[in-house]
Amino acid sequence: MKLLDDAAARATRYLALLDGRPVNPTPEDLARLDAFLTEPFPEAPTPDAHVLERLDALGSPATMATAGGRYFGLVIGGALPAALAANWLAAAWDQNAGLAMCSPASASFEDAALRNLLDVLRLPPECAGAFVTGATMATFTSLLAARRTLLLAKGWDVDADGLFGAPPLRVILSEDIHPSLRKGLGMLGLGRDRVETLPVDGEGRIRSDGLAARIDGRAIVCAQAGNVNTGASDPFEALADAVGRHGGWLHVDGAFGLWAAAAPARRHLVAGIERAQSWATDAHKWLNVPYDCGLAFVRDGKALAAACSLEAAYVETGARRDPSATTPEMSRRARGIEVWAALQAMGRSGVEDLVERTCGHAERFAAGLRAAGFEVLNEVVLNQVLVSFGDDERTLAAIDAIQRDGTCWCGGTVWGGRRAMRISVSSWATTPEDVERSLEAIIRCGRAVVNP
């Protein structure tokens, strides 16, 4: 089909030109977006080729170059070629991945991907897995199982009877947990603010001293692998001991930090993580598959399946696992296909290399910035770097100058009460040259702000 050849050619050209353009769109590119937003709905059809041409002309320049090697905002990965190609082919298949009856192929690739994931992430092989949109929904999904299990222990079937009149549950969070956790708790009826918090140290890790006294009863305890600012991970051995003593539930948000387990040199950072009851992670971050793809893993697969169960006369359940048996959604795209392709293409050594390479880039950023006289605020143990350019005003001005320069893109945050710039190296596409070019731009813009 000529249209699909045209789409592939445009996509390939887009990727080939990424290296030569600013990472953020220009004001003119954005102004064109504003203009077309107010166009009326067309009365007559537009030829397909023309739709695609306009999409490319308006959209491609207005994208953030997150698929390239010099985007370091939030925690955003690129798309590995094997994963992107698999995504294109799977889109042509247009399978409904919810039920094995609708797509035996999707169900099988997802099962294979889950088995590989548990292996490479060193999680218990008996875990049930769920492909969802991202880590936010992965935590929500995991906590469906937690809520059910802890309430059943009090004689309450929450899935049948709801939360009205249910016995209360304790929920304990790290003081510096990712905001998506509170969002999930709100959606679960457990309350965003009805939580107890555990104090953290200077890197945002839960303090292990006094933990046994703070977790002194059955509770859902949420910890994290990979603090979104520092990359630091909580003390899982101590947490698992404290939670296990009372038969509670330990959930780990490992949106990116869980991947430390895939690299032998970083594995000690998440020691004991396999002792939790559930884990949330993203594949669209460090595994570098196209958006969107998050994953929930739950040790007690039966609890998750019970919370997500559904029966209908027209749904045939066969020998093959239905992917929707452990997810909140029914119909959905086959996210597991890209994960399978990424894992096949890299193998164990490739995943390890991806994690190590990006962590090495973060270390180079930290060393280069320190050598230039700027202050790095965190211990760079993973792929996150926090840098200050002096007081808050100078740091904000430096971030603004760096973003306008366009060589690379970094965002801001507040750490330890101070403004900081975050550098998150999460893309397979980042090369040592990208790091040097970006360092040069950051130091140049930073110096212009400090000594105007």
Q: Which of the stretches 34-42, 122-130, 223-231, 409-417 binds ligand PLP when contact is defined by CB under 6 A?
A: 223-231
Peptide bond into 292 cis (omega under 30): yes
**Cβ-based nearer residue to ligand PLP, 99 or 377:** 377
**Cβ-based nearer residue to ligand PLP, 175 or 216:** 175
Looking at residues 267 to 296 of the shown chain, list those that interact with ligand PLP (rule: CB under 6 A): 282, 294
Alpha carbons 411 and 75: distance in angstroms, whole number: 10
**Position closest to ligand PLP via CB:** 134
Is position 434 an interface residue for ligand PLP (rule: CB under 6 A)? no
Contact pick of 135, 263, 362, 402 for ligand PLP (by CB under 6 A): 135
User: Which tokens is 205 given?
Assistant: 């890790």
User: Which tokens is 295 given?
Assistant: 């994953």
Provide Rg for the chain, Cα atoms.
23
Is position 234 an interface residue for ligand PLP (rule: CB under 6 A)? no
Contact pick of 149, 174, 180, 277 for ligand PLP (by CB under 6 A): 180
**Cβ-based nearer residue to ligand PLP, 146 or 228:** 228
**Cβ-based nearer residue to ligand PLP, 109 or 279:** 279
Contact pick of 228, 270, 346, 381 for ligand PLP (by CB under 6 A): 228
Smallest gap from Cβ 424 to ligand PLP, in A, equals 9
DSSP state of 422: E
Alpha carbons 239 and 304: distance in angstroms, whole number: 22
**Cβ-based nearer residue to ligand PLP, 80 or 287:** 287
Give backbone dihedrals phi and psi of 219, rounded to 5 degrees, phi first: -160, 160
Alpha carbons 131 and 121: distance in angstroms, whole number: 15
**Cβ-based nearer residue to ligand PLP, 183 or 207:** 183
**Cβ-based nearer residue to ligand PLP, 149 or 224:** 224
Is position 226 an interface residue for ligand PLP (rule: CB under 6 A)? yes
Is position 427 an interface residue for ligand PLP (rule: CB under 6 A)? no
**Cβ-based nearer residue to ligand PLP, 204 or 446:** 204
User: Coil, strand, or helix at residue 31?
Assistant: helix
CA 111 to each of CA 95, 127, 193, 302, 323: distance values in angstroms, whole numbers, following the listed order: 16, 12, 37, 16, 8
DSSP letters for 355-394: HHHHHHHHHHHHHHHHHTTPEE-S--SSSEEEEE-SSHHH
Smallest gap from Cβ 292 to ligand PLP, in A, equals 7
Q: Is-contact 267 299, C-beta < 8 A?
A: no
Q: Is-contact 238 210, C-beta < 8 A?
A: no
Residue 37 burial (10 A CB sphere; 0-12, 13-18, 19+):
exposed
Please list the residues that pair with 409 across neighbouring strands: 71
Q: Is-contact 290 333, C-beta < 8 A?
A: no
Site string for ligand PLP, 242-271 (x = CB under 6 A): -----------x-xx---------------
**Cβ-based nearer residue to ligand PLP, 295 or 398:** 295
Total residues in contact with ligand PLP, by rule CB under 6 A? 14
Looking at residues 66 to 125 of the shown chain, list those that interact with ligand PLP (rule: CB under 6 A): 75
Residues in contact with ligand PLP by the rule CB under 6 A: 75, 134-136, 178, 180, 224, 226, 228, 253, 255-256, 282, 294
